[in-house]
Chain A
């Protein structure tokens, strides 16, 4: 697998990470290296081996259906750059 500058640019945009044009070449090389390494890993024969999802033998913890949280609007909005009338206020996004 190899990655080109256009793909790197697209991936950065999808992740909303700003990458300057002159940094793109190095980023492309690094991503390519990572993917190459993963490709190498994929050559290992794992036929019949269960995928490991956790290093501890535990299952997904579940909670009861009860209202135990919320009612903390001031805390929720505390870090918002702009909040009005109990809402987050953001630049207009309308389809």
Chain B
């Protein structure tokens, strides 16, 4: 297998008044597990249902209800762990994390504290072709999601919907290996991409399927010690993650340079004001008094399950990218664009099979993706199939149409559909390669513009004007290379 090599990016440096500072970031990403039912109950996980309709008596924490674990959620956590090249712990333990909030009816969240299901792994965060940061994963644990509170329906009351209560979450905890706001956003993007390949999390940030807590600290450039960190909670947009880190780092630097200290605390990012503020109420709640959940035995996974999941893993983005570069001779940049979504890469491979890879990548990325993006369509909604696009490329290769006509043909296939070869035939789009016919057209243009021909003989760069005229006269169907050669020959210029 082809392995691409990378160098580490330069860390982002923030110039303070007294010196340069480096940002150190660790993240906790909460990813909702893609499953039909909840982690410990048989209620549906479907998003957008009527309030409190996807709630069982277990989720509502009625007395005497007992949790029973969803085997598929366990498998999904294992799959995610393997996708992040992580160690799978065959024995893990569920604990109760105790706190009180209206959207947590149990009064505790079932989580994993000392013994998570997944141990250390790593993610390669791509920043530019040939530049990537390896971010180490500390652990992934399974836990319950909380419900949702709505605060704007009544002036005095908050409204609580428990539909999300008890849905399975994977909390993916990174080591403090990230060194800038862009890297942090790219890290989340990469996790999202890998989980979408694996089918373990849909990554829908608007619906809250992926949320991130960010631990930010700063230190003088050259220092190897970590500064005191602040945790910014619950962000569900790549843009906000970057803005929040940038603001928070500058706030901490200003504090330290003024002779102050950074207080370890939980903060909230306010996107309207573009600033973070302290969540004082959370401070006391940090005393979670974890203890093993007496309702749940330790989770023991068979090695056979891990092996079976490992065998069924799809090709992941890094491997796919390396393979596309090796097999099709495309650039690393093009390969990154293509592997962003599995369906995009599959489409490309269908077009590229048996054809020129670079040309296929060009058409898929520049023409097709460009057009789809303009209309906000996904590849699955593309009006042009891989077979149709392949056929257009074949028509260029066989010399039936020029690259320019191919773009017109693409437009017709995109808007009207149909067989590209048939369209070329029916609409007379075949390019003229018959030298005699082109020669006649060249003669005609030169004869009609004797003055310009005179000038062109003195100034050969004007030959291009004649090529344009001939192309126009032939309705764009003349073979451009043939036209160019004939024009130059007839004018006697190089």
| A residues at B contact (CB < 8 Å) | 10, 14-16, 53-54, 58-73, 75-77, 82, 84-95
Give chain B nearest CB distance to A74 CB in angstroms.
9
Does B299 reach chain A (CB closer than 8 Å)? yes
Output the nearest chain A residue to B147 by Cβ-Cβ distance. A88
Consensus secondary structure, chain A interface: loop
How many Å lie between the Cα of A41 and that of B289 in the bound state?
Answer: 20
How many Å lie between the Cα of A76 and that of B157 in the bound state?
Answer: 19
Output the nearest chain B residue to A51 by Cβ-Cβ distance. B298
A-B contact pairs, 6 of them (CB 8 A): A14-B287, A86-B50, A86-B161, A88-B162, A91-B156, A91-B157
Given the interface pairs A16-B100, A60-B300, A87-B160, the reply to whether A67 lies near B36 with Cβ below 8 Å is yes
Does B329 reach chain A (CB closer than 8 Å)? no
CB pair A70 B55 closer than 8 Å: yes
Note all chain A residues with C-beta closer than 8 A to B150.
87
Output the nearest chain B residue to A11 by Cβ-Cβ distance. B289
Query: Which of A59, A69, A73 lies at the interface centre, i.e. has the most chain B CB atoms within 10 A of its CB?
Result: A69
CB pair A64 B298 closer than 8 Å: no
Query: Which of B52, B156, B300 lies at the interface centre, i.e. has the most chain A CB atoms within 10 A of its CB?
Result: B52
Give chain B nearest CB distance to A48 CB in angstroms.
17
Does B60 reach chain A (CB closer than 8 Å)? yes
Binary per-residue interface labels of chain B (275-312) against chain A in the complex, 1 for a CB within 8 Å, 0 otherwise: 00001010010010100100011111000000000000
Give chain A nearest CB distance to B279 CB in angstroms.
6
How many Å lie between the Cα of A68 and that of B54 in the bound state?
Answer: 10
How many Å lie between the Cα of A18 and that of B70 in the bound state?
Answer: 37
Give chain B nearest CB distance to A52 CB in angstroms.
11
How many Å lie between the Cα of A87 and that of B160 in the bound state?
Answer: 5
**Size band of the interface chain B makes with A:** 35 or more
Give chain A nearest CB distance to B390 CB in angstroms.
39
Give chain A nearest CB distance to B308 CB in angstroms.
15
Q: Which residues 16-66 of B have a CB within 8 angstroms of A?
A: 35-37, 41-44, 50-58, 60
Given the interface pairs A71-B53, A76-B52, A77-B52, the reply to whether A63 lies near B71 with Cβ below 8 Å is yes
Give chain A nearest CB distance to B77 CB in angstroms.
13
Given the interface pairs A64-B72, A87-B150, A90-B102, the reply to whether A76 lies near B162 with Cβ below 8 Å is yes
Determine which of A10, A60, A70, A88 lies in contact with B102 in the assembled complex, contact meaning CB atoms within 8 Å: A88
Does B125 reach chain A (CB closer than 8 Å)? no
How many Å lie between the Cα of A63 and that of B160 in the bound state?
Answer: 28
Note all chain B residues with C-beta closer than 8 A to A70.
42-44, 53-56
Note all chain B residues with C-beta closer than 8 A to A54.
297
Sorted nearest first, the 5 A-B pairs with minimum C-beta distance are: A68-B42, A65-B72, A87-B159, A70-B43, A69-B56
CB pair B159 A69 closer than 8 Å: no
Does B386 reach chain A (CB closer than 8 Å)? no
